Homo-oligomer: A and B are copies of this chain.
Amino acid sequence: MLLQLDFSSDVPIYMQIRNQILLGIAGGKLSPGEKLPTVRALADEAGVNMMTVSKAYQLLKQEGYIAGERRGGAVVIGKSGESVFSDKMKSALKLIISEAKLSGISKETFIKQVQQMYEEGEV
């Protein structure tokens, strides 16, 4: 699990870790059942505090993307949801679409990009 952290970003480090693990799962780089590093190991590797990684793991557990084990890191779960758009997802998507529209990106171009990204990283 290689993390690329940007310490000058406005996105908190724990959120960057959470996002990259989520992307790793969705992209197939992290498979269901696979064990994640311990918080201490990942913290050392990334050069951040133990609690920062712990916070990311707790968030991922709360969201259902990984399962906590009392020992030995955490385990990746496959699909978690019920095939439903959450309000959070809808509002985030709506915002991106609005920005795209105002950037002059056509519906067709936008959908092509979505298709490509969705298919990317399939096993």
Contact = CB atoms under 8 A, between A and B. Distances in A.
Copies in the assembly, this chain: 2
Interface in A73-103: 78-86, 89-90, 92-103
By secondary structure, the A interface counts as helix
Interface stretch (A35-43, A46-54, A112-120): A112-120
Instruction: From A27, A83, A109, name the one whose CB has the most chain B CB atoms within 10 angstroms.
Output: A83
A3 interface: no
A95 B19 contact: yes
A117 B96 CA distance: 10
A109 B83 contact: yes
A106 to B, nearest CB: 8
A48 to B, nearest CB: 20
Contacts of A107: 115, 118-119
Contacts of A103: 79-86, 89
A83 B104 contact: yes
